[in-house]
Each structure stands twice: as C-alpha cells, then as structure tokens.
Amino acid sequence: MAKLTGQDLETRVEQTLDEIRPYLMSHGGDVTLLEVTPEKVARLQLMGACGGCPMSAMTLKFGIERLLADRVPELAGVEAVTADDFDWSAYE
C-alpha cells in the first residue's frame, strides 16, 4: 500500500480508516476518529459490536494501528478511548 502524503494528518488518518471500515462494518462495528492530538496520537472510538467485543484490542493493535503506521508513518500512536474518557466540551 502506498503511503498517503500531501494532505493534513487528520485527513490521511480518516482516509486510512475508510479502508478498514468495510471489515469492521461486516462484523457490526465501526471506528470513529475523535481527534489527532498535538503529539500526533490518533484517538479512536470503536463503536457498535466492536465497542464491547473481547477481540477489539487485537483489532485495534493488529489491524487499525498497523495500517495507520504503514500509511501515515508520522503518526506517533493510536489510543482507544470510550465516550466517557473523551473531553466533549469543544463540541458543545
């Protein structure tokens, strides 16, 4: 797979997530990009069946994180968050 370049970091993360979404949706789940932090960490929320699935940690580590590392190499990391962990005040 080619590395994505020439666009902002958040756009490239979203484009990469779009590649894995069909797989997640086929299992009743999805992933949402909540933010890319100033430290270049993508904060993601697994949704639907993925949110409560015991395999979600493996999906995140070996699927999503691996694909993001390949396609968006300047991304420093990936962090899964729950809705309760996220500061929603900026969206009110």
Measured from the Cβ of residue 69, the count of other Cβ atoms closer than 10 Å reads 14
Is residue 41 pLDDT above 90, yes or no? Answer: yes
* Distance from C-alpha of 69 to C-alpha of 85, rounded to nearest angstrom: 24
| Amino acid 11: pLDDT | 94
Specify the pTM: 0.76
Supply the mean pLDDT for the chain.
Answer: 80
* Distance from C-alpha of 55 to C-alpha of 64, rounded to nearest angstrom: 13
Q: What is 9-83's CATH topology?
A: GMP Synthetase; Chain A, domain 3 (3.30.300)
Domains in the chain: boundaries: 9-83
